[in-house]
Amino acid sequence: MQPQTTPQSLDDLLDQLVAEFSDRLSRGERDHEAALLARVPEEHRDALQRCFRMLQTGIASAPRASAPLGPGSRLDQFEIVRELGRGGMAIVYLAKQVDLRRPVALKVLRPGLALEGRHVDRFRREALAIARLQHPHIVQVHAVGEAQGWHYLAMEYVEGRSLADVYAELAHCKAPTGADLERLTGFRAGDVSFERALCALLAPVARALGVAHDLGLVHRDVKPSNILIHKDGRAVIADFGLAKGDGDPGLSLSGEPLGTPYYMSPEQATLIAEPIDRRSDVYSFGVTLFEGLTGRRPYEGANFVQVLERLRVEPPPRVRSLAPHCSREVDAVVAQAMAKAPADRYPTALELAVDLGAVADGQTTRARMREGGAWRRAKGVYVFVVDLGREYRSPGTFLGLPWVHIVPFEPAPGAPRLAKGWFAVGPRALGAVAFGNLAVGVFSFGGLAAGLVSFGGLAVGALAAGGVAAGLLCFGGVSAGHTAVGGYSAGYYAFGGGVAAKHGIDATRSDPAALEWFGRLEPALGLMPGGDALVERLRAADR
């Protein structure tokens, strides 16, 4: 990683002014506050003045400008080598842990944020929580402490490149391959496509993120630069500095939201008062995947505000709209991860990891089944796989009806309950072939089935089989039709156990009350003429 050389940001300026004020205060100087406030935009002066008051009253302390950190300086047991990078909350240095003689990544809380106890508490609390996470795909924390007014945590130093560096290199490849990813990362995925190799690389990172989520930690800044690649090809997630177990919106000293706008979830972008939960990380992970697969981020803009505005109002683009060579499987995975509404995303990073593993193995994903199923070859046979837990409507139609419409038998509130298509499955189903509690079709199967060929608890049709069946040819516990077979049967040809009545042929002994019931039933169903005359004939046959 190379040190950043960007111009001084507003956060850097505010940190510098806080340090200068602390220096002058220690020397007894009192008439410099106005001059320092004049060096920042007017809208930030109140926040800066509040910091000055905290220093003056002694309720907070800050590092002094006369003892800045830099190459060669010492902080506790760490000797700083060079700066690695900086963000809205902290500055990261490459340092050497003198007593153990090992390199570390030393993250130091910005002086301005260190003035407020809530920032320091969160910095230490989350660092200690991550320190308890012993996971091979999470950067390990070695130490947490405070020295000379600086609050720091020392982490495992990953001597390699970040995923952002890898993406920058891949931008020079016209059509990246799995071999290109292996060359840049050392990760060995075998002779597979780029998308499968990328998903194989990142699936363990998603699992690691899920472990952190199970501890109640939300990272809140998942992005390619926070995914580091060891020289052995192992990817790890770093920088839990923004991690939170509460729902307070994170702000830097300048008032900007903590996190990177390109990878923020919509709920982070709006700074809503509702808690930011694990699904926000799932969204940011989806953006990271999107960038790797398409070579660009989903939302771009000339400035911070423009990016956030596009994120709030524009629907997320699909991977295949920019990279049509990508599979529908990975397209569906990214689409579900980047869904605008949190409820439509993967509920956990672990479920996202499962689908990433499926893409890596060339298997069907739950996201693809959710969107509309997929044809898969299994033992030489092609099968159409769908997720019966969600509504599915095939894109193809005929005479205005979808070829396939499947509705869950326990649909969510407000979801449709009628499946209507040439092949229909649902609580109520209407189609050429229908399966449901109530099914109507040429071929129907259900609790109540009506059609040319019907099977169900109550079946009505030319060929009917069910607990109660009525039709030209029927089979059931109670059957009425031209040819009826069942426990209680009535028809021209009837075969039954307890009661059977058939016209013109001797029948088994029957219950007269049941015979009269069948005589009333058949005309009502419109299957056979009868009425009182049929009852008399049946009674005569019984005698």
- Give pLDDT tens digits for 434-443: 777 777 777 7
Q: Are 220 and 352 in contact (CB under 8 A)?
A: no
Q: Which of 13-22, 103-112, 264-273, 288-297 has the lowest mean pLDDT?
A: 13-22
Instruction: Give dist(CA 239, CA 244) in Å, integer.
Output: 12
Helix, strand or coil, per DSSP, at residue 58: coil
**The token pair that represents 155 in the structure block:** 């982490």
Fold of 10-156: Phosphorylase Kinase; domain 1 (3.30.200)
Q: How far is CA 392 from the centre of its chain?
A: 19
Confidence (pLDDT) at 337: 96
Residue 481: pLDDT band (50, 70, 90) is: confident
Of the two residues 537 and 99, the one the predictor is more confident about is 99
Mean pLDDT, range 398-410, rounded to an integer: 78
410, pLDDT greater than 70: no
Residue 527: pLDDT band (50, 70, 90) is: very low
Residue 415: pLDDT band (50, 70, 90) is: low
DSSP 388-404: TTS-EE-S-EETTEESE
pLDDT tens figures, 333-343 = 999 999 998 98
Q: How far is CA 395 from CA 47, 294, 353, 382, 441, in A?
A: 55, 25, 28, 19, 21
39, pLDDT greater than 70: yes
Of the two residues 396 and 220, the one the predictor is more confident about is 220
Confidence (pLDDT) at 374: 54
Residue 459: Cβ-neighbour burial (10 angstroms; 0-12, 13-18, 19+)? buried
Question: In this prediction, what percent of the chain has a pLDDT beyond 90?
Answer: 24
Helix, strand or coil, per DSSP, at residue 1: coil
Of the two residues 53 and 388, the one the predictor is more confident about is 53
Helix axes 45-57, 10-26, angle to 10 degrees: 30
Q: Which of 291, 167, 183, 169 is nearest to 233 (CA)?
A: 183
Q: Are 322 and 331 in contact (CB under 8 A)?
A: no
**The token pair that represents 20 in the structure block:** 């200068």
Active site residues: 221
Confidence (pLDDT) at 66: 46
Q: What is the CATH number of domain 161-377?
A: 1.10.510.10
Q: What are phi and psi of 131, to 5 degrees?
A: -60, -30
Q: Are 235 and 229 in contact (CB under 8 A)?
A: yes
209, pLDDT greater than 90: yes
Q: Which of 63-67, 180-184, 296-300, 467-471 has the lowest mean pLDDT?
A: 63-67
Q: Are 409 and 426 in contact (CB under 8 A)?
A: yes
Confidence (pLDDT) at 498: 61
Instruction: Give dist(CA 463, CA 181) in Å, integer.
Output: 61
Q: Which of 166-180, 325-339, 450-464, 493-507 has the lowest mean pLDDT?
A: 493-507
444, pLDDT greater than 90: no
144, pLDDT greater than 70: yes
Confidence (pLDDT) at 95: 94
Looking at every residue in the chain, the average pLDDT score rounds to 76
**The token pair that represents 175 in the structure block:** 């059509």
Q: Which residue has the tokens 């790797």?
A: 292
